[in-house]
A and B are shown apart, each in its own frame.
Chain A
Amino acid sequence: MLITINAEKCTGCRECIESCPYTSIEIKGGKAFINEYCQFCRTCLSVCPEGAIVEIAEEGDKQKAGLSEYLASYRGVWVFAEQRDGRIASVAYELLGAGRRLAGDLKTDLAAVLFGADEAAAGELISWGADKVYHCGDPIFEKFNDEPYAQMLTKLIKDYKPAIVLAGATPLGRSFIPRVAARLKTGLTADCTALEIDKKTGHLLQIRPAFGGNIMATILCPENRPQIATVRPRVMKRIEADPGRKGEIIPVSSANLTSRTKVIETLKENSECRLNLQEAEIIVSGGRGMSNAKGFGMLEELAVLLGGSVGASRAAVDEGWIPYIHQVGQTGKTVCPKVYIACGISGAIQHLAGMQSSDIIVAINKNPEAPIFNAATYGIVGDVNEVIPLLIKKLKEERQ
């Protein structure tokens, strides 16, 4: 494929230049010219008022022989169910909810893949929507090492040929799934926030944010199988668990798994509230406006009252008021809680990138002009040192 300019139609109006995310269009001799920066994103095609930018298919782009047979040989939707210490991560249930819907659209089965944990955990996955569970209980999966996880999932995919594989966009999923995609030569889309089936072609439409959440993109994997996606935690809806659901647990044996990494120990951060921000329903987050580490003590108290976790902006982490693991934003974690309470956070675009998909955003800031208020559902203009103690007091009063 090639994107080129029809020089006869081009008026040199420069409209396309601004539209190009890769600065690949320049003016040469009064006409637009596409240089080697071009990434074939097609953005410019719709911009040109003269229709002078055209997409030319090359010889090799013609339908490969046997493609439809190849695609048809892959069937079914799989969910990789992640576990830590034998406990299934909540994102797995969300993926089963999404997978159920996709499998319904494609009229196929939904299977879960579970490495480690026990049969009871595998049974859980059936009650949350799986028709089948491929379970490998090898003790090598107790701790997370990328290589055995990747080797085992690659083998299962080769043996059973699913059309779609979903995994959580968690540190674990985002670390080992790429190895699987590399080995299988297939597409992998990171951190999806929506998944649909294209009714005409049956392909998976994978929708994800890019450029720090400033744009959304729909990604397709049209000629390779399986279509693999990691999915942002807390975005997909679970279905109701039904302990009476029937399903089949298929034990699979591991063979020749090797690992050149070894987990020596697991360290937990000392904290009163849950640290896994990606699973939290409520996050109380603080920024530079908290003034000091003591301010974060107050936020933790509020978070414990609400049953939530504590987050932070980059500024607060850089000041050393709270460890990096709490940082939300482009260079920290991307979170999607039901309620995000931003305290003394101005709302730089990098911070918004990490939390703007939260259902409800509450902003507390003394500067009424702070950009956080543009993203907020509810805004309170005021000093965090007055508002938060009051909030804590009122919540405590209500409890009694």
Chain B
Amino acid sequence: MSGIMQWQWSYLKVQGNKGYNDKLNIKNQRAIDSRQKAVNSEQRDLESLLPTACCLLFIACYFQEVAVNIIVCIKQVPDTAEVRINPETNTLVREGVPSIINPYDLHALEAALQIREQTGGKVTVITMGPPQAENALREAVSMGADEVRLISDRAFAGADTWATSYTLYKAIEKMDYDIIFCGKQAIDGDTAQVGPEVAEFLNIPHIAYVRRIDELAAGMIRVQRLMDDGYDVVEASLPVLLTVVKEINTPRFPSLKGKMAAKKTVITRMDMSAIGAEEENVGLKGSPTQVLNIFAPQVKSDRKMLQGSTEEQVAALIKELRGLKCSLQ
């Protein structure tokens, strides 16, 4: 039985995701035919193969059901490692800071691609951002995304997490999906709020901080999520939104073929009217929160390098720590 499973599995892989739902039955029949011929040559009774054939068809149907459509939400962010603030003017210094795909979102995309490789289906990557966010989408194609959409409109600018989530919800609402993947948070805003908010707008469940996918079956998924002091094993019905931590996988590098595809990809751009969003709910106007000001974090100035031999330094450290009111046992 396990041999059949493997065979069926690789068969689905070869099928890829291009309309295999239609072709499945015909091809499956052909596959069964050829297998039967092979067995015939072994002089075995054809009738005894009937259960096997039925079994194969059953498995094919099973996996056909499991084939999932996945949406991955990504964000183009400045590489925050390079962002600094000028303490004199209280302004950001961002000269020459490159834009990258938010690192967590690469893990989200990788998780989606891995599922597609096992079950078939389609991976669609969407991003809300200025026209230049197109670059992030091309990178997603080079990693293997099937389709990409740029949600972009002048009216979206200045959106906080509420308005961003509303906009993504309007864009996703009419799409066909079983799973939505998001990174745990974006490294510029560090809020971790957009994923769960999108799920609420779509009226679907979500699981945040997912570190492993244990099982995906028809209509349900079982995952492990990271909590304060351990992990929860959680099941959810599909469709579901998952936000992932970096522990879940190692994102692949773009393939050469992917890079070629990325160059040729036509990026679908959707504006406010295309997604059917209401103006009072998007961008700055739709944002309940405002940034009042920004300033540089306080720099601690009480630095003290300990001196002397290693032994003396260690003794000095223990003395310093004892002087504090912390609970050194």
Contact = CB atoms under 8 A, between A and B. Distances in A.
A266 B162 contact: no
A91 to B, nearest CB: 10
A218 B285 CA distance: 19
B196 A221 contact: no
Contact of B80 (A214, A265, A278): A214
A182 B162 contact: yes
Contacts of A215: 83, 85, 92, 294-297
A291 interface: no
B22 interface: no
Contact of B230 (A145, A269, A348, A387): A269
A362 interface: yes
Given A84-B228, A221-B289, A330-B80, A212 B190 contact: yes
B94 A387 contact: no
B196 A212 contact: no
A46 B190 CA distance: 25
Interface stretch (A67-75, A109-117, A133-141, A173-181): A173-181
Nearest to A259: B205
B162 A21 contact: no
Interface residues of A, number: 117
If over half of A's interface residues share one DSSP class (helix, strand or loop), that class is named, otherwise mixed; here it is mixed
B119 interface: no
A47 B11 CA distance: 62
A147 B237 CA distance: 13
Interface in A236-278: 259-269, 274-276, 278
A181 B318 CA distance: 46
B161 A178 contact: yes
* Residue from the set A38, A176, A261, A359 with the largest chain B CB neighbour count within 10 Å: A261
B177 interface: no
Contact of A378 (B78, B95, B191, B306): B306
Please list the 7 inter-chain residue pairs (A to B) with the smallest Cβ-Cβ separation, ordered nearest first: A187-B288, A187-B289, A178-B196, A190-B191, A175-B208, A324-B247, A260-B205
Given A21-B94, A210-B189, 10 more contacts: A37-B157, A46-B91, A84-B228, A175-B208, A212-B187, A215-B85, A216-B297, A260-B204, A373-B303, A377-B300
Interface of B: 78, 80-81, 83-85, 89-95, 103-104, 130-132, 154, 157-158, 160-162, 165, 187-197, 199-201, 204-209, 211, 222, 224-237, 240, 245-247, 284-285, 287-297, 300, 302-306, 310-311, 313-315, 317-318, 320-321, 324, 326-329
